[in-house]
Amino acid sequence: MMWNSESNHPRAFFLSYLIGVATSICLSFEGSNGGTLVMAASPEAATTTLYDSDPKHLWNRVHRALHIPTVLEDDAEHYAVRTIDPNDLDPFLWYPQHPDLLSGPAYREAIAVLDEFLDKRGEGLVQDALKRVFLQRDLWTLFDWSADLGWQNLDQKEQFVSERRELQTRLSQAIPRLALSANEIANLPDNYAAAVKSNRYPAQFHTDRQSAAYLPADLWAPQGPWVLLGSSAGGHLSGDHVSFFGGRSNFAIFLRLPEGRDQTLKYLHQLSDWQRTGPTTVKDVPQVPANTQVALARRTAVIDDRGEIQPTPLTELIQLRVVHDPSKSEQPDAQSFLQFRLRREQLLAGKAEGLSAVPDDEREWDYLFNLGRSGLARGVMLPIKSACNACHGNAPGIRTMRSFGQGSLQNEWIVTSLGDEERQIGAWKRGQASWKLLEKLKQSAPTR
């Protein structure tokens, strides 16, 4: 997770609102980050049944304790209580400090339920591999959040040093207990392939239906029309995404020109030749043709039973853009934005793909949109599809790809493989302080 000191606005108290909800919700954090209050679990959360039909099942209680509902500012005048969403894959990323989980009743509940999980060998209650992946994923996310170096930039009393260590110690023991073997990981479902097979969405883009959802059937084909991009400078191309999500997900960036792989490869050679001439500006870059497609894919990574980071075939998110007119920018008809998201509640309920298109009215935390960098992040919800334009609509054509427009003109795009990108991201993760701390605590933790 990325931190930005500019996003730490002065806290404001919403007393008039709290009076109305105090009788039904136990507050564990009194202030807000410019528009959001975070609370201990609301009564409605007691019905969570993500892991078992019984809301009181230990795994459901762990999920509840670590997913904090919020009072969010929906617009300038209205507030709404957002209860726990079992489909929320990133509950700890949108809010930089999230101190409520480290104090008051929320903290006590989290510690107690993790102790129960460890003491009662709670990992043995569920053998389903997918469920184990999702719970490990949440615990790993929470550990990395608690270990972020940005805590050191806060005042001493706001660092919660001992509380974070108490949480980290328990998480470092629980995470490996949920690990899968190499064979179990290999047999996890490919929900993207299942979604394509369901024929719920067209498998190709059609120029006469520019805004219609489609799911490319050949996105992952190694020699298919979608070319997987890497960087000549080494490392992973999707650096901002990898850093923000802590290396717990693998990212891949694809490019497809209208006529397919040969045309795309020819364009990449043209782009490299242009870069090697020593350009001083991106404004005269060789432009892509109309209806060029770009894709960003995000897949789950796990920690296996040997303690190694491993990729999985589980797709968490697909973002698609079609550049209809590469001469335009910031105009509605310049490009189309599409997104598919993993709905883990559906996947765990036996619906094979659990991957569905984002409708026009679905919203996301602004902090996730900005990858934690914007000083305007206040815990508000923004329409997903329309907000994509903020990052990818301020330049024409190929320059909408931030990995090109913001990178060095000397770093060329290269054709890479999924395995190479996954290895690059895994290597980056193993160099992070959060991973080193997790390894240290796993080795030093007493047996329970």
107 close to 18: Cβ distance less than 8 angstroms:
no
290 close to 325: Cβ distance less than 8 angstroms:
yes
How would you class 88 by CB atoms within 10 Å of its CB: exposed for 0-12, middle for 13-18, buried for 19 or more? Answer: middle
Q: What pLDDT does 82 receive?
A: 58
Walk across the sheet containing 36-38 and list its strands. 36-38, 70-73, 79-82
Q: What pLDDT does 372 receive?
A: 74
Return phi, psi of residue 317, to 5°.
-160, 145
Q: What pLDDT does 274 receive?
A: 86
Segment holding 43, helix H or strand E: none
Q: What pLDDT does 316 receive?
A: 96
Sign of CA dihedral 240, 243, 245, 249: positive
Whole-model pTM: value is 0.85
The rounded average pLDDT for each run of 10 residues, N- to C-terminus, in the chain (448 residues) is 32 31 31 42 64 95 82 51 72 67 89 97 97 97 92 89 96 98 96 93 84 91 95 81 93 96 95 80 84 96 98 96 84 83 88 83 77 61 70 71 61 89 95 97 84
DSSP state for residue 285 in the 8-state scheme = P
Nearest one of 439, 328, 340, 347 to 392, comparing CA atoms: 328
Q: What pLDDT does 413 receive?
A: 87
